[in-house]
Each structure stands twice: as C-alpha cells, then as structure tokens.
A = this chain, B = another copy of it.
Amino acid sequence: MSSADECDDLVSFRRDLHRHPEPAWCEFYTTSRIVEALDARDVDELYVGPAAIDGDARRNVPDDDTLQTWLDRARAAGADPSVLETVSGGLTGAVAVLDRGDGPTIGLRVDIDALPITEAREDHVPADEGFRSEHEGYMHACGHDAHTTIGLGVLDAVADSDFAGTLKVFFQPAEEKGSGAEPMAKSGHVDDVDYLLAVHVGFDHPTGEVVAGFDGFLAVRDFQAAFVGEPAHAGANPHQGRNAIQALGTAIENLYAIPRHGDGPTRVNVGVVDGGTATNVVPEAAVLSGQVRGETTELMEYTYAEAERVLRSAATLHDVELEIPQDVGASAPSAESDDEVAAVVAAVAGDVDGVTTVLDRAVLDGSEDATHLMRRVTHNGGRAAYVGVGTDHPGGHHTETFDVDEESLRIGVEVISGAVTDLAERRP
C-alpha cells in the first residue's frame, strides 16, 4: 500500500516530532505540524484546538508562563503562526475528517504529547542519528510521535483506497496527564462514530506482533486535597493552631482503610504529601495527592466517593479547611475492546507483511484515557477497540532509552487502515 516514499515521509515526520517533544496542553509545534500536514492533504473537514476539544473540560493545564514558554519554543522551531494563534492558551489537538460517501463513520484516536524525561545521549538511536530531543528534559518516551505519524499514514492510506464512509482521525493532546480524552469526547466529534480504533505501540510486544484488542483498563482518578488551618507557636499556644498536618495524618490512615469492595478490585494510593514550615509552628497547610482505581468505573467511583468523605471528615476532625481542586489529575474510566472490531483487526493483521503473531486479546496493566472516547462511542451504540502494534523498544516505556522500531510505523498504518476499510463494509 504505502510506497517507499510514503514510508520515508512517515519516518521523517516522526523524527521531526521526536525532536520537538511537548508536554500535555503545550503541543503547539506538534499541532502546527499536524495541521500543516493535513492542509497538504485532501481532508474534508479539519477542526483545530478549540474546535477539536471542549476547552472548559480540560484539567492539569499548566500556568500561563509555562504555556508561553512552549509557545515561544514552537514559534522559534518554525511552527505556523496562524495555527499557534489558534491553539495558544493550551487548546491543542486536532480532528481530521475524510468524507468518502455513504458508509459507517470510523474513528481513529492517536495521542500526541510527550513526557518530562531527559532523553539518553548515548547508545540510543535518536541520539546517534541526530533526532534526539531538542527540548532538554522532555522526550517522546511513550511512542506518541509514532502514534501521530500512524494517524497521518492511515489517513493517506484510506484516502488512497476505495473506502466508502467517513474517517475521523483524533489527534488527542494530554494523554500523559490523563486529561486530553475527556475534553475531546465532550467536543462531540465522536458522537456519530460507529467504530472507534485507538492504537498504541510497544507494551513489550516486539515488532511483528499485533494485539487485536486490549482489555483490562483500570478506571482511575487522581485527586488532590489541600488542608488549610491556622498556624500557632507550638510551644506557647498549641491550642490556638488548627493543624493541617494532623488532618493529613488522619486522612492518610483512613484513605488506605477504605473498605475493599465485594464486586472487584479497587485501589487507593496517597502518592505525594507536603506540609508545614518549621518545627516550632503548628502547621497551617498541607497538601496530599492521591489516586483511586477500580476494575470498573463504578468500583473506582465508589472508592473516590469514600475518599472524598474521608478527606472532608479528616478536615472537619481537625477543624481545618479543605479544598479539593477539580481541574487537576488524571481520570479515565474502565473499558473493554469490542469482540467484533477486534476480530476484524485480527483478520486484517494476519495478512499484513511483517506481522508474525496476532494476539486476539491482551490485558493492559494500567490506565489510558482513550477509554473516555471508547465509552462515549459505546454509550452511543458504537463499538471500540484498543489495538496494539508491537515494536522493538530498547528501554521500557517512560524511560530515557525508549525508542520505536520505525518498521512498526508501516505495520501500524497497514493494520489500522486495513481494519478501517474492512469495517466500512459492515453495516453497524
């Protein structure tokens, strides 16, 4: 399908993104390059930034200074100024629509953001071949550069095929903070999708292996709690203080003690705490960041509701104020890959050159905010699957030596575009 030239283009595109990793909601250069690439193609509709996501539904948006810093970097790296204007303020991402007449609407979700990790300088292909990160301290250490590239490649491949229907490619920001999928879901662009595919490379599956449908996404929700009391001299007037660290202590003890649920596994973790100023001052402020999970969204929500009551009561118990900010932290429901869609993917993958193993199912050990989009689609009667494209990766995900085998770009494009065209022949 893809000619050698097209493959070269994909590799070159991926390496450009790799050199310009941008964290969640700062994907200014990335969005600009996507838009530029789409403009050069024959897409029927293109939604960028505020037109692609519901900006009010974003969480974990960096402060203005950080946004400005990354906007400046994007501009300096040659991003299109008009795109930058559109996405400034942390409204990144894009949705491209290919309308090829009567047929189902098929969605493909790819995520585009990078991580705050310093990339390896030695024994590392990007360093050796000159496309190491130019943003020191940041890195595409999870393969989203490959995902974005596959999104573009699929668009090309489907456009070149006799596909009948509508293809929507969702270039989603802020997956690493678990906060980009929800605003994209709320934009409504997935509401008419009959079949949704999400794609991820690696996960310890080598090049040549394809997972037709991942399952076992734990529902997850981060939370933060800020206790604010009253300082006092700990020697002279301990009774005048309202002790935020005591509230923190009570919260820690009781969060972990939230009852297990009879219907399935749940998790609670207090990951980060910070509080107080001096040994001789009754501590005025303390902050806690934590996370709840559940095998299902309901189990996660049960645990979160318990956690919130614990936090509020711990504050009351020590007579301190509590703030639980709602705009920070990751959030993702649980999801399962649809059998029918996975079967189509499996069938297609078996015929793709270079694919040596097709796994019908695998369990993803973790969370992914793609589940927001998957649930929205299934809620509306559609079907969704999360597809894995194996790639040899020297270091693990989220480590400084992570890299992808670029051969997997081609495989990914062929598997996904093949599945898209096959699915289009079905009538949902």
> What residues of chain A have their CB less than 8 Å away from a CB belonging to chain B?
218, 220, 222, 233-241, 243, 245-246, 248-254, 256-257, 259-283, 286, 289-291, 293, 302, 309-310, 312-314, 316-319, 329-330, 365-367
Contacts of A272 in B (CB 8 A): 275-279, 283
Contact of A280 among B261, B269, B274, B279 (CB under 8 A): B269
Given A248-B252, A279-B271, A317-B309, A366-B236 contact (CB < 8 Å): yes
Q: Is the CB of A329 within 8 A of B270?
A: no
Q: Is the CB of B259 within 8 A of A257?
A: no
Q: Is the CB of B240 within 8 A of A262?
A: yes
Q: Is the CB of A235 within 8 A of B278?
A: no
Q: Is the CB of B248 within 8 A of A250?
A: no
Q: How far is the CA of A312 from the CA of B313 in the complex (A)?
A: 9
Given A234-B269, A262-B239, A309-B316, A290-B286 contact (CB < 8 Å): no
Q: Which of A220, A275, A282 has the most CB of B within 10 A?
A: A275
Q: Is the CB of B269 within 8 A of A282?
A: yes
Q: Is the CB of A237 within 8 A of B262?
A: yes
Q: How far is the CA of A366 from the CA of B249 in the complex (A)?
A: 27
Q: Is the CB of A254 within 8 A of B260?
A: no
Q: Is the CB of A269 within 8 A of B238?
A: yes
Q: How far is the CA of A275 from the CA of B270 in the complex (A)?
A: 10
Question: Can you name 9 A-B residue pairings with CB atoms under 8 Å?
Answer: A222-B279, A236-B262, A238-B262, A239-B259, A243-B256, A271-B278, A271-B282, A273-B275, A310-B317
Q: From A291, which residue of chain B is reached at the shortest CB distance?
A: B279
A325 to chain B, nearest CB (A): 13
Q: How far is the CA of A5 from the CA of B245 in the complex (A)?
A: 54
Q: Is the CB of A235 within 8 A of B267?
A: yes
Contact of A279 among B264, B309, B310, B329 (CB under 8 A): B329
The 5 A-B pairs at the shortest CB distance, nearest first, are namely A249-B252, A313-B317, A256-B257, A234-B269, A271-B279
A231 to chain B, nearest CB (A): 10
Q: From A313, which residue of chain B is reached at the shortest CB distance?
A: B317
Q: Is the CB of A260 within 8 A of B265?
A: yes
Q: Is the CB of A265 within 8 A of B265?
A: yes
Q: Which of A272, A314, A319, A367 has the most CB of B within 10 A?
A: A272
Q: How far is the CA of A261 from the CA of B267 in the complex (A)?
A: 9
Q: Is the CB of B270 within 8 A of A276?
A: yes
Contact of A248 among B259, B273, B293, B314 (CB under 8 A): B273
Contacts of A245 in B (CB 8 A): 252, 270-271, 273
